[in-house]
Structure 1
Amino acid sequence: MDGSVRVDLRGRQALVTGGARGLGAALCRRLAGAGASVLVADVRKELARELCDELAGSGGDARFVELDVRDPHMVAEVFRDLDAEGRPVDVLVNNAAVDVSKPIEHLSADEVTRVVTTNLLGPMYLCLEGYRRMVARGGGHIVNILSTAANRTWTEAGAYAAGKSGLRAFTHTLFQEAQRDCPGIGVTGVIAGGMETPFILERFPDADVSLLQSPDVVADTVLYALSVPVGSAVSELVVVPRKEPSWP
């Protein structure tokens, strides 16, 4: 990727959940390359710190924030700490996600709770904290990473599809409220098809990578959403591999 999307994020701070690897790491690299100060929010401490060191070595500004998105108290504390530092979140990217690929009859309540809490409630917790602060400042941008499962599901994806479908509905509602209440705030859902990342390859090691897209393409799509002038709004973008089997 040549980083063809151009947006100047100097002086702005971005928080990326699940930022330590995969799409999250690609997002952090693109945001840092655009000049943003990046908060790499994750539970994977070593991977996140390695990424921060990499970005710093390339002239970027990045630091690790330990964050389990399933914990609303931890989410609130992160935002309170940023308030105290005088470093608000200008760009929030809800990227963290998990999946348990099992038939519904074999899913446990704990597995369903982990998937739905991470993929739906976690982003909602972050939006609750981030959005009200953006309204108070009169600007900002929230990007929620969705999935083709938010539009069309498949077997062994019951909990995942439920979480992503719910997040899509929440994102559209938040978009409408921002349109009404604060035109300076952008809210975008990005429906991303299969990517060549650990999220897929760890669960499906025999997956045909020729059918998957690079996470850099999705990261560039997010930067495009951030590049749109305030006078326009992008509520949703879809980016899938050419041979994506689960779209439309």
Structure 2
Amino acid sequence: MPAVPYVDLRGRHALVTGGARGLGASIARRLARAGASVTVADMRRELAEKLCAGLTEEGHRAAAEELDVRDASAVARLFAELDERAHPVDILVNNAAVDVSKPIEHLTADEVTRVVATNLLGPMYLCLESYRRMVARGHGHIVNILSTAANRTWTEAGPYAAGKSGLRAFTHTLFKEAQRDCLGIGVTGVMAGGMETPFVLDRFPDADTGLLQSPDVVADTVLYALSVPPGSVVPELVVVPRSESSWP
């Protein structure tokens, strides 16, 4: 799908977690093509660097950072380094997520910890670091990528649904606090349905891709949330394939 920049993001810096592939890569491309400088944070350094090299060749500004969002100290170091470079985060997109598709009786404690730490604690760590900085500067926007699992779960998705439900609650709370603390800060949860990405296809290689949506559609939804004029904000958006079975 061609890039459709709904908003001029020149002069703004975006940080996208899990940005090396799939939905994260689609979001990073959309933001860069709308004019933002983009930091692609991912544990897959080589993939992140390849994506950024391609964006740089197009004339955009993009840099890769290796980051495990479960590591609160690493998250804090990244924000401190960006501050030192005079490159504060204006737009944070918490996209990094994992899943382990198993019945609850077969899950291990380590698997549960990995999913919940990545999908809930990680975004919370990033919000903690970015939100206080945005309040100090008087502006910014945080986008948390949610899932229909935050609304209606299914079997073999216990930790995933728990993490996404928790992140939705945290996002709603952050939205209310931004209303109190700083009206220049936007907070948006994007609840996405099934996408044709490695996140789905690596676990379900036989999935019917005709029932999935392009990640570019969800990336355009993120861009729309950033396009709303000052004085308004979109607190939550839902974008699903027409055949989505987990909504409503």
Category of TM-score, reference length = shorter chain = over 0.9
- 1:102 matched residue in structure 2: 102
Q: Measure, in 1, the Cα distance between the counterparts of 2:5 and 2:213.
A: 17
Q: State the shift of 1:104 in Å.
A: 0.3
CA deviations on 1:56-109 (whole Å, 9 max, x unpaired) are 011110000111000000000000001111110000000000000000000000
| Alpha carbons 2:10, 2:35 under 8 Å: kept | yes
Measured on the aligned residues, the alpha-carbon RMSD in Å equals 0.6
Post-superposition offset of 1:6 = 1.4
Do 2:123 and 2:144's aligned partners in 1 also have CA atoms closer than 8 Å? yes
The corresponding residue for 2:243 is: 243
Aligned amino acid, residue 181 of structure 2: D
TM-score w.r.t. the length of structure 1 is 0.99
Deviations for 1:152-180, whole angstroms, at most 9, x for unmatched residues? 00000000000000000000000000011
| Structure 1 residue aligned with 2:165 | 165
- Give the partner amino acid of 2:15: L
Which runs of structure 2 are paired with 1:18-29 in the superposition (5 Å)? 18-29=18-29
TM-score normalised to structure 2 length: 0.99
**Whole-Å Cα distance in 1 between the matches of residues 57 and 174 of structure 2?**
37
Q: Secondary structure at the match of 2:62?
A: strand
**1:133 paired residue number:** 133
Q: Output the CA distance in 2 between the equivalents of 1:64 and 1:14.
A: 12
Question: Partner of 1:182 in structure 2?
Answer: 182
1:123-150 per-residue CA deviation (whole Å, 9 max, x = no partner) reads 0000000000000000000000000000
Q: Which string of whole-angstrom CA distances, capped at 9 and with x for unpartnered residues, describes residues 185-238 of structure 1?
A: 000000000000000000000000000000000000000000001110110000
Identical columns (%)? 78
For residues 100 and 145 of structure 1, what CA distance do their matches in structure 2 show? 18
The separation in 1 between residues aligned to 2:118 and 2:66, in whole angstroms, is 15
SS in 2 for 1:205: coil
Unaligned ranges ≥5, structure 1: none
Q: Which residue of 2 aligns with 1:17?
A: 17
Structure 2: gaps of 5 or more residues? none
> Does structure 1 conserve the Cα–Cα contact (< 8 Å) formed by 2:5 and 2:34?
no
After superposition, where does 1:61-140 map in structure 2 within 5 Å? Answer: 61-140=61-140
Shift of residue 2 of structure 1?
3.3
Q: Secondary structure at the match of 1:231?
A: coil
Tell me the equivalent position of 1:224.
Answer: 224
Structure 1 equivalent of residue 47 of structure 2: 47
SS of corresponding position for 2:238: strand
Query: Alignment length, in residue pairs?
Result: 248
